[in-house]
Amino acid sequence: MSANETIDDYYADTAYTPAKRQQWEAANPERDTIIGSRLSWNRRTQDNGTNEEYGYKNIGISQRWEFQRVEKNLEGDDIFKGMKVRYDYKGIMPPNYTAVAKFLRVVMAFSIGFFFLFIFGFFFLVAVDLFYWLFGRGGAEVFYTALWMNLWLCLPVVVVCLFTWQGGRYLEKIKPTVFYGMRKAPLWQLNRQTGLFTIYDPRNAWKQRLEAPFWEFDAYLQSSPDTQGSATYSLILYHPFQQIRQKLDAQFPPTKMPGELIAAWQFLQRYMDVSQPLPDVPALEIHRHKDPTTAAADQRRGRNPRYWRDMDEASVKKIQEEKYRKNIRLR
């Protein structure tokens, strides 16, 4: 923002404030819905975020991204085109991983899960067989027979899962461009300055499926069963008149903790609300002085511009844990 610009000049007319959402809701009480739990919009959004948003590593990641942006002289959409990710004071555009990268990460996740599941299952079965032996319901021969049977049942799965797990880690080190392969076009974009949420066509790079003011979208939590039948939740933004939905998994991965995604929804509202400063999270600290509302608020309250960067890792982790404990109780 130049010295001659005011805050009102900096933000577009479509920039989000809670009053615009309230007016839109009042004008559209009957609108299309989808399956899931519709989340509420807050009149004054809390300064909140997911557990991941408060990670200490985000300080270094954000600084590296900003160094690359400056070095390559990237602005606007060119930031994503040059770096395949954007997360700053103006916009959020998460990475769009290739099908191969997604597959590898899913396989690794399942391998880790089944590795520990079968290890636990083996020791549980051994404990049951030992119980029967000690209490006279079977002799030593029966116990050893059952032990070998359990070993041959679980060992092949454990070995395969361990090989896949460690093989994935090795591939991650030697071929990160494959393991973290990203497409050249984004999935979606949130822009604080314009107040617009843009959904891109996954089959046609950079072609917009929908671009509309953020306040016109309803947020939903949708659940689906995982391999063990437990509910896993995703955060979705849905435009009730265009009837287009967008999962936000790329930025906020599916989780069994719905409170974490409610915190993510609070984070997004705070991020887009130009009447309030940016969320005070580690990754956005180096950008706070560039956003006029945030800079003015930080100056009024005398916020240390290096609050997160001057903090040691243990202190950041303590705050992260406190936020997480609050999030898991959100409903």
Q: For the residues of 203-252, what is the DSSP string, one character each? A: TSTT-EEEEEEGGGPEEEEEEEE-TTS-EEEEEEEEETTTTEEEE-TTTS
Could you count the other beta carbons within 10 Å of the beta carbon of residue 10? 15
Here the tokens at position 275 are 């009447």
Rounded Cα–Cα distance for residues 172 and 143 (Å)? 42
The kind and range of the H/E element at 196 are: strand 196-200
Residues 6 or more apart whose CB falls under 8 angstroms from that of 210 comprise 198, 199, 239, 242, 244
Phi/psi at 90 (5° precision): -105, -40
Q: Which of 23, 21, 62, 15 is nearest to 42 (CA)?
A: 21
Taking the mean position of all CA atoms in its chain, how far away is CA 196?
A: 20
Rounded Cα–Cα distance for residues 293 and 321 (Å)? 28
Q: Which of 276, 277, 245, 281 is nearest to 264 (CA)?
A: 281
The kind and range of the H/E element at 91 are: strand 91-93
Q: Is residue 168 within 8 Å of residue 179, measured between CB atoms?
A: yes
Angle made by CA atoms 253, 81, 74, in degrees to the nearest 5: 115
SS3 label, residue 96: coil
Residue 229's pLDDT is: 65
Residue 22's pLDDT is: 95
Residue 212's pLDDT is: 98
Here the tokens at position 75 are 């602005």
Residue 142's pLDDT is: 74
Residue 328's pLDDT is: 86
Rounded Cα–Cα distance for residues 79 and 278 (Å)? 20
Which spans in 50-139 are helix H? 57-72, 78-83, 99-134
Give me the residue spans of the domains in the chain: 7-96+185-327, 99-179
- Residues pairing with 213 in the sheet: 196
Rounded-to-10 torsion of CA 37, 41, 44, 48: 40
pTM exceeds cut of 0.85? no
Per-residue pLDDT of the chain (331 residues; tens, 9 = 90+): 544 456 778 999 999 999 999 999 999 999 999 999 999 998 888 889 999 999 999 999 999 999 999 999 999 999 999 988 999 999 999 988 766 666 666 777 778 888 888 888 888 888 887 777 777 666 777 777 877 888 888 888 888 888 887 877 776 676 655 555 566 789 999 999 999 999 999 888 899 999 999 999 999 999 987 666 678 999 999 999 999 999 999 999 999 999 999 999 999 999 999 999 999 999 999 999 999 999 999 999 999 999 999 999 999 999 999 999 999 888 7
Residue 44's pLDDT is: 81
Residue 144's pLDDT is: 78
Residue 116's pLDDT is: 84
Residue 56's pLDDT is: 96
Residue 4's pLDDT is: 43
Taking the mean position of all CA atoms in its chain, how far away is CA 145?
A: 47
